[in-house]
Amino acid sequence: MDKGAFQQEVYNVVAAIPSGKVVTYGQVAFLIGRPQCSRMVGHVMHDVPSELHLPCHRVVNSQGRLVPFWVEQRALLESEGVQFRKSGMVDMKVSQWKFIEE
């Protein structure tokens, strides 16, 4: 697997996530045709160059948990209207991007 091509595919999906919606690492992996590579998606997301200005804050884990130690993520999502549950996790039923329907 070409690492550069994998990264670019991840970047393309993340760039397409609409404001106010979130996707999971697994969904990104599914969308690029590599459903078993959600951890690799996470590694790519960790190293996204800031100059790409990708909406990385819109990617969460499968339960709606935010990135540990990234305190700005919640504020960024809330400013876009993403809904949270009392547990502090994203309300995936409300805010998950239903990319297949669009």
Catalytic residues: 56
Backbone angles phi, psi at 87, to 5 degrees: -70, -10
Q: Residue 10 has which token pair?
A: 């991840």
Q: Which residues have CB under 8 Å from 15's CB, separation 6+?
A: 54, 55
Q: Residue 74 has which token pair?
A: 């919640």
Do residues 67 and 76 lie in contact, with contact meaning Cβ atoms separated by under 8 Å? Answer: no
Q: Residue 36 has which token pair?
A: 């078993």
